[in-house]
Amino acid sequence: MSAAEEVITKAPAVEAVPKRGMTLGLGASLVMLAALIIGPLFLKNFIIFQMTMLLIYGLAVLALNILTGGSGQFSLGQSAFYAVGAYTSAILMEHAGVNYALTLPVAGLICFGFGFAFGQPALRLSGIYLALATFALAVAMPQLLKLGFFEHWTGGVQGLVVTKPDPPFGLTMSQDMWLYYFTLAISLGIYIASVNLLRSRSGRAFMAIRDNEIAASAMGVDVALYKTLAFGVSAGVTGVAGGLGAIAVQFVAPDSYTVTLAISLFVGMVIGGVGWLPGSIVGSAFIIFVPNIAEHISKGLSGAVFGVLLFLAIFLVPHGARQVAIVAEQLVRKLKK
């Protein structure tokens, strides 16, 4: 077997998405936002809760998208960062009595540090090896959370119950609805920040590394710094999503954050389109609703139905929701002419 591989002739593992291709046009964004704001006013509490989860997983998928679509690194370990964020929020709220809104930045910062630190050894790994290393992290996390040593804070196997916040300022809306708008505001802030990040100098550095690492370093990009930074940012956003998730579900336990969650997030990213940030919410909808639909179609075969639907999705649109959006955009243009 030839040991030499030609880097230039070989296509990069992650598609090169130009930075303009990463976002939605202004008009489409506003329509989407209006739907997200007005929608819950007409919905039942349970559906509002599901929409909150949709936004939260959307954030987690977005975080993975920054890492993979932006800087070209894989991760099957996002559930570990999600768990750390969730536990940070839960512990701060229940043991230290901190206000729920204030726990989120702390969760984000702690996860940023954790991700940045994990990015250091991960620097030497790429492709399949990085996937395995992050996978190992995801497998190890529930076991670490169960350790007797931390039990005083984490509640061990039983986990922690988190109280749901009431709407502030005497607003008359249900807790679920308040939490939804709270989540929406944070998601929106993070989405805009991520879009700006990818358009900034750092974002261009991420993309340069993704497209050709050697060329990027020749142009003066500090490859090691930006790769670990991408890990840190991704972990930080996932941590905030985890904190929000803990508040919404009102419960944290080690077994909610297994590797299955990491795999779901990965599937969500592929379905949404790698490197297309608005797709994150489509991917998140897929991982929340499709298992329910599958359960509906057949109880015993729900796994198989989920698998078949996933296959259908990747056969029809191998580039995920991004491909659908591009086709739709072209159609709209034709109609206008």
Nearer to another protein, 133 or 160 (CB): 133
Regarding 318 and contact with another protein (CB under 8 A), the answer is: yes
* Comparison of 162 and 208: residue with beta carbon closer to another protein: 208
Both tokens of residue 308? 């078949």
Choose among 142, 134, 144, 145: nearest CA to 77: 134
Q: Which position among 68, 73, 183, 256 is part of the footprint of another protein (CB under 8 A)?
A: 68
Choices 104-112, 140-148, 162-170, 223-231 (CB under 8 A): range interacting with another protein: 140-148
What is the per-residue burial (b if ≥16 Cβ within 10 Å, else e) of 149-187?
eeeeebbbeebbebeebebeeeeeeeebbbbbbbbbebb
Binds another protein by CB under 8 A, chosen from 28, 43, 109, 136 = 136
| Minimum distance, C-beta of residue 262 to another protein, in the bound complex (Å) | 11
Q: 276: which DSSP letter?
A: -
Under rule CB under 8 A, residue 96 binds another protein: no
Question: Residue 46, interface with another protein (CB under 8 A)?
Answer: no
Site membership for another protein, residue 145 (CB under 8 A): no
Residues 6 or more apart whose CB falls under 8 angstroms from that of 194 comprise 62, 66, 237, 277
How far is the C-alpha of 107 from the C-alpha of 59, rounded, in Å? 14
Q: Which of 24, 43, 132, 224 binds another protein (CB under 8 A)?
A: 132
Q: Applying CB under 8 A, what is the total number of residues that bind another protein?
A: 52
- Is 44 among the residues that bind another protein (CB under 8 A)? no
For residue 245 the two structure tokens come to: 């998730």
Q: Which of residues 257-296 bind another protein (CB under 8 A)?
A: 263, 266-267, 269-271, 274
Q: Could you tell me the smallest distance in angstroms from the CB atom of residue 145 to another protein?
A: 11
Q: What are the beta bridge partners of residue 53?
A: none
Q: Tell me the chain's radius of gyration from C-alpha atoms.
A: 20
Cα 278 from chain centroid? 12
**Helix intervals (H) in 98-200:** 100-122, 128-146, 151-154, 175-199
Question: Which residues, at least 6 apart from 330, have a Cβ–Cβ distance to it below 8 Å?
Answer: none
Q: How far is residue 308 from each of residues 138, 228, 265, 312, measured CA to CA in Å? A: 26, 36, 18, 6
With CB under 8 A as the contact rule, the residue among 300, 334, 336, 337 that binds another protein is 300
316 binds another protein (CB under 8 A): no
Distance of CA 313 to the CA centre of its chain: 20
Residue 131 binds another protein (CB under 8 A): yes
Q: How many residues would you count in the chain? A: 337
Rounded to a whole number of angstroms, the minimum distance from the CB of residue 22 to another protein is 16
Least Å distance, CB 74 to another protein, is 8
308 is an interface residue for another protein by CB under 8 A: yes
Residues that bind another protein (CB under 8 A): 1-8, 13-15, 68, 74, 121, 124-125, 128-129, 131-133, 135-136, 139-140, 143-144, 146-147, 214, 263, 266-267, 269-271, 274, 300-308, 310-311, 314-315, 318-319
